[in-house]
């Protein structure tokens, strides 16, 4: 019956459920704009495009442009700090109707329970939330995570309708060194999409990585790197997140020959940027401003990702495609007026009209469990006369440098040196309440008083803290524990601001606007504390990631990513 009705709708013999009248359609197949046509929608699908369609409901598209809903090709929803449904409501306002999410953040804490939570939470959202099965839980064995997922753990996920393939293979050294556990995961994903994560990989090592069956990368940061990867058959996901911004550097690579192998993604994007800048729409606008032809910018925002991930019925406006449609009154500035998702109007006259169904509870256990701490746990015993390795934080980058210098010492221990901006850094294991605490010095945060702490510390998400004194470091960590996750800033033994993130220590059910308000309060406090960074919490969260060079700190110790091994904080002289 439905197929009969679909055909009759397409033929114009019966009224469509919705018709968008007299609209200008961006045609990704011809590169033209089909002017003053009707889009007839039957249930959740586009039945026809042409003249003189009539509908039970009609939308006036006169003077407007219609394009396919935008697709984020790679994102970690957890990094938005809000529940999946809140995230969906935030991005659909900006025209995003589908995201490809890698839930490895919550998987590193809760394993399959975390992934099931994300799948379940996505059921009632106003957008498509597709998942990639996390490939690196943990990212390395040099840290303590809340879960370890081997090939046989993730294999059942591939039978899920909404799981498209294997998530970013961050452990590229494991691929090149033929780590059996890594190769097992690649083997079980044979025939499916395998996303890559290969910053700076080139030459024969890049050849080997691609030959293993990994065909995309979102860590490319230079034109030269992108062109080599494109030339060897990879798909490039141009990223514009909150911490990492590659759009300006990579837009010049786009041309008529390679644009179908280029996608847009955000990777990690915080509430403030989602609210004030936008999402994929922001990348489209910036692309057009940089000289990319408008119809090509919109096409890259939808169609290449749908082809790469095998999503044959989204990514364009055509008969048989899902009715995921964005209406705009300004093509160059991406002026969104309405969004239709699967034949339902979600955004009307720029306002959200979608009503979220009642949530069915999905319980998650408490995830922040630490040992009993004292100030002594943050102290490094001094070795007089010896230099130490100091992590050098670099503004707006997740890579770090290395400084070799003599530390300040008092009463037999290394202490923060505010004049040289050498602060104490600690990573406290929070999954098993073990004795693991990694300690080091770090330069580049600029704090003059107090300490900050976070349970968002990629990718194992132990508690990480940086401070000017041991007492405030302890106070901030204890607040994180008492709130089961989040961010905290302490000065003089008092908590000056905090943002609780009780869902796995990563997310909250608060509206995105409220999260942003609390985050801005935290950032204002860190400025008063002397921070020289725009967002010290985001910067801090990447100081524990042992797959991004050069020096990082895990709960097990100071780690040299280039050597891919632990190093002593003290330097041999």
Find the distance separating the first CA and the last CA of the chain, reported in whole Å. Answer: 82
DSSP string, 457-490: -TTTT-EEEEESSHHHHHHHHHHHHHTTSEEEEE
The SS3 call for residue 12 is: coil
Q: What's the CATH architecture for 69-315?
A: Alpha-Beta Barrel (3.20)
Residue 75 CA: distances (Å) to CA of 71, 267, 268, 427, 485:
10, 4, 6, 25, 21
- Close Cβ partners of 29 (under 8 Å, ≥ 6 residues apart): 316, 318
pLDDT(171) > 90: no
Mean pLDDT rounded to a whole number for the chain: 95
Read off the pLDDT of each residue in 282-302 and give the average, rounded to a whole number.
98
Read off the pLDDT of each residue in 291-307 and give the average, rounded to a whole number.
98
Cα-Cα-Cα-Cα torsion 317, 322, 323, 325, nearest 10 degrees, comes to -50
The SS3 call for residue 448 is: coil
Tell me the C-alpha distance between 314 and 294, whole Å. 20
pLDDT computed for residue 358 by the predictor = 56
Tell me the C-alpha distance between 204 and 232, whole Å. 11
Name residue, tokens 């998702």.
341
Stated as kind and residue range, the H or E segment containing 109 is helix 104-110
pLDDT computed for residue 396 by the predictor = 78
pLDDT in tens, 77-107: 999 999 999 999 999 999 999 999 999 999 9
pLDDT band at 243 (very low <50, low <70, confident <90, very high): confident
Read off the pLDDT of each residue in 313-332 and give the average, rounded to a whole number.
98
Name residue, tokens 């409220």.
514
pLDDT(203) > 70: yes
Question: In angstroms, what is the C-alpha Rg of the chain?
Answer: 25
Task: Give CA angle at 24 (19, 25), nearest 5°.
Answer: 80
Cis peptide before 287 (omega within 30 of 0): no
Read off the pLDDT of each residue in 7-23 and give the average, rounded to a whole number.
97
Rounded percentage of the chain residues whose pLDDT exceeds 70? 99
The SS3 call for residue 155 is: helix
Whether 400 contacts 391, CB under 8 Å = yes
Read off the pLDDT of each residue in 137-164 and give the average, rounded to a whole number.
93
DSSP string, 365-421: ----------GGGG-EE--TT--EEEEEE-TT-S-EEEEEEPPEEETTEEE-BTTTT
For domain 2-63, the CATH superfamily is: Urease, subunit C, domain 1 (2.30.40.10)
pLDDT band at 242 (very low <50, low <70, confident <90, very high): confident
Read off the pLDDT of each residue in 58-62 and give the average, rounded to a whole number.
97
Stated as kind and residue range, the H or E segment containing 265 is strand 262-265
For 179, how many CA atoms within 13 A lie in the half-sphere containing its CB?
19
Could you tell me the residue ranges of all domains in the chain?
A: 2-63, 69-315, 375-566
Tell me the C-alpha distance between 485 and 478, whole Å. 10
Tell me the C-alpha distance between 289 and 298, whole Å. 13
pLDDT computed for residue 362 by the predictor = 65
pLDDT in tens, 376-420: 999 999 999 999 999 999 987 888 999 999 999 999 999 999 999
Tell me the C-alpha distance between 174 and 187, whole Å. 14
């Amino acid at each position: 019956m439905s197929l009969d009705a679909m055909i009759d709708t397409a033929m114009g013999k019966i009224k469509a459920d919705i018709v968008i009248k007299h609209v200008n359609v961006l045609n990704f197949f011809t590169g033209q704009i089909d002017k003053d046509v009707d889009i007839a929608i039957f249930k959740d699908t586009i039945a026809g495009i042409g003249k003189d369609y009539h509908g039970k409901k009609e939308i006036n598209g006169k003077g407007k442009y219609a394009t396919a809903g935008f697709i984020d090709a790679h994102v970690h929803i957890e990094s938005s700090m809000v529940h999946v449904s809140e995230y969906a409501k935030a991005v659909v306002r900006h025209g995003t109707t589908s995201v490809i999410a890698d839930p490895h953040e919550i998987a590193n804490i809760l394993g399959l329970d975390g992934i099931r939570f994300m799948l379940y939470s996505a059921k009632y959202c106003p957008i498509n939330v597709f998942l990639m099965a996390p490939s690196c839980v943990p990212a390395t064995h040099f840290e303590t995570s809340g879960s370890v997922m081997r090939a046989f753990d993730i294999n059942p996920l591939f039978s899920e309708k909404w799981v498209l393939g294997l998530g970013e293979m961050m452990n590229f050294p494991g691929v090149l060194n033929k780590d059996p556990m890594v190769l097992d995961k690649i083997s079980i994903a044979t025939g499916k999409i395998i996303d890559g994560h290969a910053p700076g990989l080139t030459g024969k090592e890049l050849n080997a990585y691609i030959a293993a069956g990994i065909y995309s990368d979102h860590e490319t940061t230079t034109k030269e790197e992108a062109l080599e990867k494109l030339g060897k058959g990879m798909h490039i996901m141009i990223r514009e997140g909150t911490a990492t911004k590659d759009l300006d550097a990579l837009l010049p690579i786009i041309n008529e020959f390679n644009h179908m192998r280029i996608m847009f993604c955000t990777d990690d994007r915080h509430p403030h940027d989602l609210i004030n800048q936008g999402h994929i729409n922001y990348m489209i606008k910036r692309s057009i401003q940089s000289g990319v032809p408008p119809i090509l910018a919109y096409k890259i925002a939808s169609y290449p990702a749908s082809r790469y991930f095998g999503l044959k019925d989204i990514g364009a406006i055509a008969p048989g495609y899902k009715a995921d449609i964005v209406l705009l009154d300004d093509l160059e500035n991406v002026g969104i007026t309405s969004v239709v998702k699967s034949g339902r109007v979600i955004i009307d006259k720029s306002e959200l009209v979608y009503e979220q169904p009642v949530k069915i509870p999905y319980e998650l256990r408490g995830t922040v469990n630490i040992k009993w701490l004292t100030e002594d746990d943050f102290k490094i015993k001094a070795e007089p006369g010896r230099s130490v390795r100091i992590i050098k934080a670099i503004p707006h980058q997740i890579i770090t440098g290395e400084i070799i210098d003599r530390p300040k010492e008092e009463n037999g221990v290394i202490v923060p040196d505010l004049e040289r901006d050498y602060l104490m850094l600690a990573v406290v294991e929070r999954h098993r309440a073990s004795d693991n605490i990694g300690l080091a010095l770090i330069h580049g945060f600029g704090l003059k008083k107090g300490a900050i702490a976070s349970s968002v510390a990629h990718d194992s998400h132990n508690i990480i803290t940086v401070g000017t004194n041991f007492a405030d470091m302890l106070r901030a960590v204890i607040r994180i524990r008492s709130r089961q996750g989040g961010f905290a800033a302490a000065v003089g033994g008092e908590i000056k601001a905090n943002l609780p993130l009780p869902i796995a220590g990563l997310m909250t059910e608060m509206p995105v606007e409220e999260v942003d308000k609390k985050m801005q309060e935290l950032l204002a406090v860190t400025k008063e504390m002397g921070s020289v960074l725009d967002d010290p919490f985001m910067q801090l969260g990447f100081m524990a990631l042992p797959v991004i060079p050069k020096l990082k700190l895990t709960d097990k110790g100071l780690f040299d990513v280039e050597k891919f091994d632990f190093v002593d904080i003290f330097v041999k002289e």
